[in-house]
Amino acid sequence: MNLTQPTNRSSASPFSKKFAVAVLTAIVILPIGTSAGIYLWARTIDSLFAEAVLVLLLVATVVSLGLAAFVWGAWTIGLRHPLYDSGYRDWLANSPWRPGAPLVRGPIRLGLRNAVGAVVLGVLAWLATLPNENLSGWLLLAPATAMLAGAALIGVMANTKIGAYQNLYSAVIAMLLTAALLPPAWSIVVVPVVVYATSVYGNHRAIQTFPWPDPPDAPRDLGWPFSALLNEPKDIRTTFAEASLRATLVSAAVATLLWRAPTDVSPDAEDPTNSVLMLVGIGGFFLAVLRLGAYGPAICPRLCWGHRIGAGQWFVPKHDVVFLVAGAILLAGSLLPLGLTILGTPPWVAASLGAGLAVFITFGLGPSVADLHYTGPHAMKASIPAVDRQKRRMVQAHC
């Protein structure tokens, strides 16, 4: 292997130059190239209709420029991050390169070329909206904001896949604080900048720990009986500290969104309390379904209703606690916010507390999937199942 240059980009990489150029060209050229023809066609019908069509075309052009900037920013980070290219990652792992040395493809952040491109796209967006002064205010910053958002998204996703969840939590905390402290107009611009800064720092920390261990869900070539012994059942339940952190982040997010949401103070406006409580209750329902679904086959087939009837055992305390957890999630997402609102608590406080508690119960309480998978079925039948006895005979025959 050539140790002075990285290997060619893997064909399986989603960040190929030809694909990126084709996507960017389609996003930018197609709306701009077709706008003139559509506008001239609209003028042949009616002048007012043509003006409305012009506004829609201008908005579509600006959106396409912002989307192009978003894709460009995401592609830049994906091109330089070893996680998204197995060939580049293998070269770094087997070459004299070591953490702390400059990366061959450059640092995992946006560069001068991206800055120039964002300025050009911003100027194009501003020129496209000159016929309508109401649309040309903040649009100079729109492509740059979109580019930072795309880069931040890919960076945070990469760090999360590596296992550096602290980068995701830091990004969410920074986003919530920025959105809570700044006016809404400024938040739209500043939030991507803050999240991008946290992702750049996370990428830098991740490179210092290279090579990364295989994630728990990485494919493995294992046969029986090792596949049953070494592959732990997937579980959404986490530690108490991480569940508390997730609950706090969700609670803060709900509180920030509801607190900063515009409210109608007219006497004829409908009270938004019922809508807020309904949304939180729906979220609690989906969390309860998620928690039950995470147990998967561990609940069935041995403990389904047909087997309970056949065994004459209707209630299995060590197993059926999973349904109590789901019920607690539903209560936290519905009755708790309603009760707090009746007691005079502001709706945004009640909704945030209910959502946070529902998330904490989902990820922090109840039996784990491993406990239910390995011990739950044995409460129904003390003897070894027939399939397990057959496997045991096979092992003894080969010993």
Query: What are the b/e assignments for 358-390, b being 16+ CB within 10 Å?
Result: bbbbbbbbbbbbebbbeebbebeeeeeeeeeee
Pair (137, 234) in one structural domain: no
Supply φ then ψ for residue 101, to 5 degrees.
Answer: -80, 155
Tell me the pLDDT tens digit for each residue of 324-348: 888 888 888 888 888 888 888 888 8
Task: Share the mean pLDDT of the chain.
Answer: 71
225 vs 127, higher pLDDT = 127
- Helix, strand, coil shares of the chain as percentages rounded to 5? 70, 0, 30
State mean pLDDT over 307-324.
71
Instruction: Name the domain boundary from 138, 173, 208.
Output: 208
* pLDDT tier at 1, thresholds 50, 70, 90: very low
Is the pLDDT at 23 greater than 50? The verdict is yes
Residues 148, 245 within the same domain: no
Is 204 in the same domain as 231?
A: no
Residue 22 pLDDT greater than 70, yes or no: no
pLDDT at 143: 84
Q: Which domain holds residue 130?
A: 17-208
Between 37 and 128, where is the model more confident? 128
If you ran DSSP here, which 8-state letter would residue 183 be given? -
CA dihedral (15, 17, 22, 23) positive or negative: positive
Cα R_g (the chain), whole angstroms: 27
Cα 370 to chain center, whole Å? 25
**145-190, pLDDT tens digit by residue?**
888 888 888 888 887 777 666 777 777 777 777 776 777 677 777 8
Average pLDDT over residues 188-196: 81
Domain contains 311:
yes
- Residue with token string 């830049």: 76
- Do 279 and 178 fall into the same domain? no
Report yes or no: 133 and 58 within 8 Å, Cβ to Cβ.
no
Higher pLDDT, 171 or 247: 247
Residues 168 and 240 reside in one and the same domain = no
Helices (H) and strands (E) in the chain, counts: 15, 0
**Mean pLDDT along residues 375-386:** 45
Q: What is the DSSP letter of 108?
A: S
Are 232 and 202 in the same domain?
no
pLDDT (0 to 100) of residue 395: 47
Query: How many angstroms separate the CA atoms of 193 and 118, rounded?
Result: 14
Cα(48)–Cα(166) distance, integer angstroms: 53
One domain, residues 344 and 383? yes
396 C-beta neighbours (distance < 10 Å), count: 8
pLDDT tens-place string over residues 57-77: 666 777 778 888 888 888 888
Of residues 210 and 378, more confidently modeled: 210
> How far, in Å, are 129, 267, 344, 350 from residue 270 at the CA level?
36, 8, 18, 19
Domain identity same for 282 and 199: no
| Whether residue 248 sits in one domain with residue 185 | no
Confidence at 302, pLDDT banded by 50, 70, 90: low
The verdict on 187 and 236 lying in the same domain is no
The tally of domains found in the chain comes to: 2
**Angstrom distance (rounded) from CA 140 to CA 58:** 14
Is 138 found in the same domain as 43? yes
Tell me, yes or no, whether 323 lies in a domain: yes
The tens digit of pLDDT for each residue in 28-54 reads 555 555 555 554 555 555 555 555 655
From residue 329, how far is each of 13, 35, 249, 326, 395 by CA, in Å? 40, 51, 17, 5, 44
233 shares a domain with 200: no
